Amino acid sequence: MNHTQSSNLFNAAKKRIPGGVNSPVRAFKSVGCDPVFISRAAGPYIYDADDNRYIDYVGSWGPMILGHCHPKVVEAIQKTAASGASFGAPTPLETELAEMVCEAYPNIEMVRMVSSGTEATMSAIRLARGYTGRDKILKFDGCYHGHADSLLVKAGSGAATFGVPTSPGVPADLAKYTLTATYNDLDETKSMIAANKGEVACIILEPIAGNMGCVPPRPGFLEGLRALCDSEGIVLIIDEVMTGFRVAYGGAQERFGVRGDLVCLGKIIGGGLPVGAFGGKKEIMENLSPDGGVYQAGTLSGNPLAMSAGIATLSLLKEPGFYDQIEEKSAYLEKGLLEAAKEAPFATCWQRVGGMFCTYFTEGPVHSFADAAKSDTASFGTFFRSMLDAGINLAPSQFEAGFMSVAHSQDDLDQTIEAATAAFRALEA
Give the whole-angstrom CA distance, residue 104 versus residue 120. Answer: 18
* CA 149 vs CA 34, 42, 128, 156, 216: distances in Å: 29, 36, 16, 15, 26
Which of 131, 144, 278, 380 is in the footprint of ligand KE4 by CB under 6 A?
A: 144
Q: Does 185 bind ligand KE4 (CB under 6 A)?
A: no
Binding mask of the shown chain, residues 61 to 80, with x at each position contacting ligand KE4 by CB under 6 A: x-------------------
Name the residue with the smallest CB distance to ligand KE4.
117
Q: Do the Cβ atoms of 217 and 208 come closer than 8 Å?
A: yes
Binding of residue 304 to ligand KE4 (CB under 6 A): no
Q: What is the DSSP letter of 99?
A: H
Q: Which stretch binds ligand KE4 (CB under 6 A): 115-123, 134-142, 228-236, 300-308?
A: 115-123
Near ligand KE4 by CB under 6 A: residue from 48, 56, 94, 206: 206
Is the separation of the CB atoms in 275 and 306 below 8 Å? yes
The residue from 239, 261, 371, 412 that is catalytic is 239
Contacting ligand KE4 (CB under 6 A), which of 137, 228, 241, 394?
241
Please select the residue that binds ligand KE4; options are 59, 130, 250, 266, rule is CB under 6 A: 266
Q: Which is nearer to ligand KE4, 70 or 145 (CB)?
A: 145
**CA-CA distance, 276 to 264, in Å (whole number)?**
7
Binding ligand KE4 (rule: CB under 6 A), the pick from 204, 229, 237, 242 is: 242
Residue pair 343/424 in contact by the 8 Å Cβ criterion: yes
Residue 27 in the binding site for ligand KE4 (CB under 6 A): no
Residue 348's identity, in one-letter code, is T
- Site for ligand KE4 contains 122 (CB under 6 A): no
Distance CA(285)–CA(209), nearest Å, equals 25
Neighbours of 249 (CB within 10 A): 18
Tell me which of 150, 178, 211, 330 binds ligand KE4, using CB under 6 A. Answer: 211
CB closer to ligand KE4 out of 276 and 381: 276
Q: Which residues contact 115 (CB under 8 A, 6 or more apart)?
A: 274, 275, 276, 298, 300, 301, 303, 306
Active-site residue set? 144, 239, 267
Residues that bind ligand KE4 (CB under 6 A): 23, 25, 61, 116-118, 121, 144-146, 206, 210-211, 239, 241-242, 266, 276, 400
